[in-house]
Amino acid sequence: MEESTLKDLDPRLQKQIENARKAVDKNPAYAVDIMTNIVGRHPGCLDARKILRQAQQRVSGGKSKGFGGFLAKVSSLPFSMGSDAKVKKDPAGALASAEQMLNANPANVKAHQVVGAAAEALELFETAAFAYEEIKKIEPKDVENIKALMSVYIHIGRSEDAIRIGDAAYHQHPSDDEIQGLIKKASVEQSISKGKWEEDESFRDKLKDEEEAQKLEQAGRAKTGDAGLRSMIEDAKAAVAEQPGNINFYREISSNYRKLGEFDNALEWIGKARQLEAGSADVNLERLEGTLKREKMSHAIAAKEEALEADPENAGLKSGLEDLRTEEREFRLSQAEDLVQRYPNEFSYRYELGELYHEDGATDKAIKELQLAQRSPKVRISALILLGKAYKVKGFADLAAEQLNIAKSEIPGITDQKKDVLYELGSCYEAQGDMDKAMVEFKALYGADISYRDVAQKIDDFYSQKNQ
């Protein structure tokens, strides 16, 4: 799993986060609701998690400090039995569960520990450091937590901070060999870093690279339209000539070509970025490359469809469109299967693969992936709904109803997703011949949206038969 920032999120989510941030002081409960949902969907976004933590603390009103010891013991009971095993088996699920505990009590040390351990398992080391820092605020003398924090600090390059908190702990625990060992390790890492800074030109240029990238971005904001994008591309290319190892400029060029709809050029520069040492193991670049390929195919399909509308009898256009659709489909499937194979515990990938299998009629394969996809908080409800539909295709109406009822219970209010669940659930009961149960669901849907699919006709038919 990748660490991310607020800027990496969908602009619509950024707006929600800004509203939540503003509500932290005046309406913290609202902020908690919003940010819990966003953090659940984007567990790698530390900035979002920090806002959530502020809101949780505002809701508690500082009362958790007075009852911290007691509440932490009471509310940590669900974690005390098998929490380590849960973290190892399903770190993403453990992370989400821990946040729910922190919503109830932000001073719950055990919940913070689970956040830290789960984050480490997911390789979200900045998030892990944040969790252990929160524990340090609550229990500053917890030596095991200090050692955990030191270890993470060393891992993320904060050796100086590791030494600082390690020295303080060592004065309190001079016989603790583990603390002494971590201090030595941090000191070695610090020395190596300083040596590289002094000896290696790339280290001395690192800050300059970042500064140049920021300047380029700021300059770009003043430029609009296609001409502005091309000007930004040329500026970035000039920067590449001066600093060929700075991956930020390659991203900038590719991004602006993408905005222009020039996907071949965008892919070319992403390919160049992936050839750099810094880009060779960058998973985000790999994903972006796949996204660009899909977008290229989608634009080509749209162009063919537009041409076919103008010339509907053109056999060549029809054939070309069908070939493009097949190619795009095969690419998406191949990419999804590859991602699942390489990242088997990234369950959102399994949902995407299950969805493709379902659309292709490979129902058994879809069921297998969707059963696993439920473990991801990000796609759990969608996976439950699609699993219900897959069971329905198999003729297993009772199993379908079980999944749909679970999904129904987890969706608050009447949303488009809830409407879909109500309709599908009613259809399952209808297939079983249980019209009383079917009508409960159809009536609920009818009351919310009379125009949804054929629900009005179903209600009319039911009462017509009943009154005969």
399, 428 Cβ separation under 8 angstroms: no
> Per the domain annotation, does 386 fall within a domain?
yes
> Per the domain annotation, does 182 fall within a domain?
yes
**Tens digit of pLDDT for each residue in 31-43?**
898 898 889 889 9
User: Residue 78's pLDDT is what?
Assistant: 40
Of 465, 453, 451, 394, nearest in space to 426 by CA: 453
> Per the domain annotation, does 139 fall within a domain?
yes
Q: How far apart are CA 259 and CA 16, in angstroms?
A: 25
Same domain, 458 and 353: yes
Same domain, 365 and 301: no
Q: What is the CATH number of the domain that holds 148?
A: 1.25.40.10
Same domain, 109 and 253: no
354, 383 Cβ separation under 8 angstroms: yes
Same domain, 164 and 126: yes
What integer is the mean pLDDT of 61-70? 44
439, 407 Cβ separation under 8 angstroms: no
Q: Which of 172, 201, 230 is the last residue of a domain?
A: 201
What integer is the mean pLDDT of 253-273? 91
Q: Is the pLDDT of residue 81 over 60?
A: no
Same domain, 316 and 348: no
Of 243, 242, 223, nearest in space to 233 by CA: 223
Same domain, 186 and 276: no
Same domain, 170 and 40: yes
Same domain, 41 and 153: yes
95, 118 Cβ separation under 8 angstroms: yes
Share of the chain above pLDDT 70, in %: 86
> Per the domain annotation, does 211 fall within a domain?
no
276, 250 Cβ separation under 8 angstroms: yes
Domain count, the chain: 3
DSSP secondary-structure letter at 6? G
**Tens digit of pLDDT for each residue in 119-137?**
998 889 999 999 999 999 9
125, 132 Cβ separation under 8 angstroms: no
Q: Which of 138, 169, 201 is the last residue of a domain?
A: 201
User: Residue 84's pLDDT is what?
Assistant: 60
> Per the domain annotation, does 327 fall within a domain?
no
User: Residue 421's pLDDT is what?
Assistant: 94
Same domain, 46 and 175: yes
> Per the domain annotation, does 238 fall within a domain?
yes
User: Residue 191's pLDDT is what?
Assistant: 64
Residue 235 structural domain: 222-320
> Per the domain annotation, does 156 fall within a domain?
yes
User: Residue 200's pLDDT is what?
Assistant: 45
Q: Is the pLDDT of residue 204 over 70?
A: no
Q: Is the pTM of this model over 0.85?
A: no
Q: The tokens 């920021």 sit on which residue?
A: 214
**At a CB cut-off of 8 Å and minimum separation 6, what does 276 contact?**
245, 247, 250
**At a CB cut-off of 8 Å and minimum separation 6, what does 331 contact?**
293, 294, 297
> Per the domain annotation, does 425 fall within a domain?
yes
293, 270 Cβ separation under 8 angstroms: no
Q: The tokens 């013991």 sit on which residue?
A: 73
287, 269 Cβ separation under 8 angstroms: no
User: Residue 416's pLDDT is what?
Assistant: 87
Output the six-digit token pair for 5: 């920032």
Same domain, 365 and 414: yes
Q: How far apart are CA 134 and CA 108, in angstroms?
A: 10
Residue 412: φ, ψ to 5°: -75, 145
Same domain, 158 and 21: yes
Higher pLDDT, 449 or 174: 449
What ranges in 142-224 are assigned the alpha helix state H?
143-155, 159-172, 177-199, 201-221
User: Residue 386's pLDDT is what?
Assistant: 96
Confidence band, pLDDT 50/70/90 cuts, at residue 195? low
Type and span of the H or E element at 283: helix 283-310
Number of H helices, E strands in the chain: 25, 0
Confidence band, pLDDT 50/70/90 cuts, at residue 366? very high
Instruction: Please list, residue by residue across 285-318, b when 16 or more beta carbons sit within 10 angstroms of its beta carbon and e when fewer do.
Output: bbebbbebbeebbeebbeebeeebeeeeeeeebe
- Rg of the Cα trace of the chain? 27
User: Residue 415's pLDDT is what?
Assistant: 87
Q: Which of 201, 233, 261 is the last residue of a domain?
A: 201
Of 206, 262, 273, nearest in space to 236 by CA: 273
User: Residue 185's pLDDT is what?
Assistant: 84
CA angle 178, 184, 186 (to 5 degrees): 100
User: Residue 192's pLDDT is what?
Assistant: 62
Same domain, 310 and 385: no
**Tens digit of pLDDT for each residue in 400-433?**
999 999 999 988 888 889 999 999 999 999 999 9
Q: Is the pLDDT of residue 454 over 50?
A: yes
Q: How far apart are CA 430 and CA 423, in angstroms?
A: 10
